[in-house]
Amino acid sequence: MKVEVKQVELVDVGTDLLAVGLVEGGELPPEIAGAAGADSARSGFKKLSLLRPDGFPTVLVVGLGESEELDLETLRIAAAVAAKEAERLEAKSIAWAYPRGIDSVLAADALVTGTVLAAYRFDRFKSGERDDSPRLESLVLPGPAEFAKTVEWARITAEAQNRARDLQLTPANFATPTFLAERAEAITAASEALTVEVFGRAELEAKGMGGLIAVGQGSAEEPKLIVLRYSGGGSGPTLAYVGKGVTFDTGGISLKPGAGMQEMKMDMSGGAAVLEATAAIAELGLPLELIALVPTTENMPSGTAIKPGDIITQYNGKTVEVNNTDAEGRLILADALAYAVELGAERIVDIATLTGAVEIALGSTYAGLVSNDDPLAAEVIEAGEVSGELVWRLPLHPEYKELMKGTVADLSNLGKKRKAGTITAASFLEEFVGETAWAHLDIAGSAWDIGREYVGNEANGFGARLLVEFARHSAS
C-alpha–C-alpha distance, residues 9 and 304, integer Å: 68
Does residue 389 bind Zn ion (CB under 5 A)?
Answer: no
Does residue 177 bind ligand BES (CB under 6 A)?
Answer: no
Residue 431 interaction partner, one of Zn ion, ligand BES, none, beta carbon < 5-8 Å per kind = none
Work out how close the CB of 117 gets to ligand BES at its nearest, in angstroms, rounded to a whole number.
21
Does residue 326 bind Zn ion (CB under 5 A)?
Answer: yes
Residue 395 interaction partner, one of Zn ion, ligand BES, none, beta carbon < 5-8 Å per kind = none
Query: Based on CB atoms, which residue is closest to ligand BES, 184 or 357?
Result: 357
Residue 414 interaction partner, one of ligand BES, Zn ion, none, beta carbon < 5-8 Å per kind = ligand BES
Does residue 249 bind ligand BES (CB under 6 A)?
Answer: yes
**Distances from the Cα of 330 to the Cαs of 212, 217, 298, 377, in angstroms?**
10, 16, 14, 20
Which parts of 183-202 interact with Zn ion (CB under 5 A)? none
Which parts of 345-374 interact with ligand BES (CB under 6 A)? 353-357
Contact 93, 138 (CB under 8 A): yes
Binding mask 24-43 for ligand BES (x = CB under 6 A): --------------------
**Among 84, 256, 393, 401, the one annotated catalytic:** 256
Query: Based on CB atoms, which residue is closest to ligand BES, 5 or 444?
Result: 444
Which parts of 74-133 interact with Zn ion (CB under 5 A)? none
C-alpha–C-alpha distance, residues 5 and 16, integer Å: 16
By DSSP bridging, strand 437-442 and strand 347-352 are parallel
Does residue 328 bind ligand BES (CB under 6 A)?
Answer: yes
Is 330 considered catalytic here? yes
Residue whose C-alpha is closest to residue 237's, from 437, 9, 4: 437
Contact 282, 467 (CB under 8 A): no
C-alpha–C-alpha distance, residues 163 and 266, integer Å: 13
Is 416 considered catalytic here? no
**Among 76, 229, 244, 330, the one annotated catalytic:** 330
Contact 411, 321 (CB under 8 A): yes
Which residues on adjacent β-strands are paired with residue 438? 348
Task: Name the helix (H) or strand (E) containing 303.
Answer: none
Burial 370-389 (b: 16+ CB within 10 A, else e): bbbbeebbebbbebbbbbbb
Work out how close the CB of 326 gets to ligand BES at its nearest, in angstroms, rounded to a whole number.
4
Query: Based on CB atoms, which residue is closest to Zn ion, 177 or 329?
Result: 329
**Distances from the Cα of 81 to the Cαs of 32, 62, 107, 454, in angstroms?**
21, 8, 15, 8
Query: Based on CB atoms, which residue is closest to Zn ion, 32 or 246?
Result: 246
Does residue 298 bind ligand BES (CB under 6 A)?
Answer: no
Q: Which of 177, 329, 421, 463 binds Zn ion (CB under 5 A)?
A: 329
Q: In what order do the strands lie in the sheet with 58-63?
A: 2-6, 138-142, 93-97, 17-22, 58-63, 48-51
Name the site residues for Zn ion (rule: CB under 5 A): 246, 249, 267, 326, 328-329
Q: Which residues bind ligand BES (CB under 6 A)?
A: 249, 267, 324, 326-329, 353-357, 414, 421, 444
